Amino acid sequence: MFQGWRGVALLLTLLVAQEASSTEAPSLKLGGMLRFSYLYKSWEPRTQVHSRGGDLVFDTFSLRTQAEYKNLSLNAEYRFYSGFSFLRYGYLGYTFSDSLQVQVGETQVPFGILPVPSNNWFNNLTFYVGLEDDSDMGVKALLKSGALDVQLAFYKGDEGSFTGRSLNSARYAFDLVRTTETELERAGVLGARTDRETSQGNVRLAYTFQPTPSFRTEVGLSGLAGGIYNSETQRTGWRWAAAAHLNGQYGPWGVHLQAVSYAFSSSGPIAQDRRFVVMGAFDGAYKVASRAHLLVADVSYTWELARGPVDSLTFYNDHGLMLKSEESFSSSQQNVTGVHVAAGPIHAFIEVAAGRNQPFLGPDFATALAEGREGAGWGFRPNVNVGYYF
């Protein structure tokens, strides 16, 4: 329970520091969000929820802080969900110049399209294998020189697990996690898994072509390499991932194109099935193919409104495909079509998410991103998420 309030304690400490400070007091901004979601899952058996036409439920409450003092800065967010909570990110930054900043703590991993290669609430398939919108614990350097953007990072460990029912999966982004035997029973995995990420290095290079203010194309390459420590054998395996991307904004039109390859090699017990690893987040864990290629293709159109309470409407279609290297594993797909409504502090996503062998868009949560099911049908999930950001 103590860990669950670390983010709140951090915010209170900053408030006290601000009150006690002198003329060179740091600036401090506090914020957060409250979100609700409408849920309906086409693949679930007929229940009272289906008879009611779905449910409106609590999604997230978060607290955020931004503080600055001379060249120092602090950024942190703590999120509360129903039954679990975690530190979303939290780091100290030091700005050496307009072209160089160093961040220490739990920072966003520099990989692929940033901040995310998606327009929708569900993110893209790369998120569900730990290669999108991930934060880990370490040090990162951000260098800018004209149109060139370079990010270098070293992470000693993952983002950590906070409060929840699972052994190691109370976190936001998917990482290799330790699990109990009970957690993996429904996936048909015998015994617990004891892998965890360690000593990861990241390099991201991006170059932006911008002939006019409204036409911009960023192209980039990313790579990561790191270890997989197994506490049962006390040996370290390896993992790597690479990506090439294009992030374009052409007037009201936006385009994301990204290709990703990855591989995991665990050093677990000899009897352990090496064809998959176990990853976890949002207080749950599932199997993921040890080797795969992913393709992302998104298109969006933003309509800026000149009147009324709505500031803009962004229409989008985001598509992801996962091709697994193991021949007996079936591919995974995800497609989300919808609109993002921005109205001052209120943001809403109104969309239809569809997936084949996708853990959150079908009946096979534990196995969808590993063996999956040959000939699996599409699962559909109408989604309405409304949030107030303050």
Q: Which residues are registered as beta bridge partners of 294?
A: 260, 322
Total of domains in the chain? 1
pLDDT for residue 212: 94
Q: Hey, is 97 helix, strand or coil?
A: strand
> Are the C-beta atoms of 290 and 322 separated by less than 8 Å?
no
291-304 and 253-265 strand pairing: antiparallel
| Inside any domain, residue 2 | no
* CA atoms of 142 and 202, how far apart (whole Å): 12
On whether residue 49 sits in a domain, the answer given is no
pLDDT at position 47 is 60
Amino acid sitting at position 327? E
Structure letter (DSSP) for residue 283: T
Asked if the structure places residue 82 within a domain, the reply is yes
The SS3 of residue 295 is strand
Q: Does 319 reside within a domain?
A: yes
Position 11 scores a pLDDT of 45
**pTM above the 0.85 mark?**
yes
Identify residue 80 by its one-letter amino acid code. Answer: F
Give bridge partners of residue 309 from the DSSP assignment.
none
Domain of residue 163, residue span: 69-339+353-379
Instruction: Respond yes or no on whether the N-terminal peptide bond of residue 115 is cis (omega within 30° of 0).
Output: yes
Place of tokens 């990204």: 258
The four Cα atoms 363, 369, 370, 372 give a dihedral, to 10 degrees, of 40
Strand partners for 178: none
Question: pLDDT tens string for the chain (390 positions)?
Answer: 444 445 444 444 544 444 444 447 889 999 999 999 998 888 877 665 666 777 889 999 999 999 999 999 999 999 999 999 999 999 999 999 999 999 999 999 999 999 999 999 999 999 999 999 999 999 999 999 999 999 999 999 999 999 999 999 999 999 999 999 888 877 777 778 999 999 999 999 999 999 999 999 999 999 999 999 999 999 999 999 999 999 999 999 999 999 999 999 999 999 899 999 999 999 999 999 999 999 999 999 999 997 789 999 999 999 999 999 999 999 999 999 999 999 999 999 999 999 999 999 999 999 999 999 999 999 999 999 999 999
How many Å apart are CA 164 and CA 84, to the nearest integer? 4
CATH number at residue 328: 2.40.160
In a domain, 219, yes or no: yes
Residue 225 included in any domain: yes
Q: What is the number of residues in the chain?
A: 390
What is the DSSP code (8-state) at residue 7?
A: H
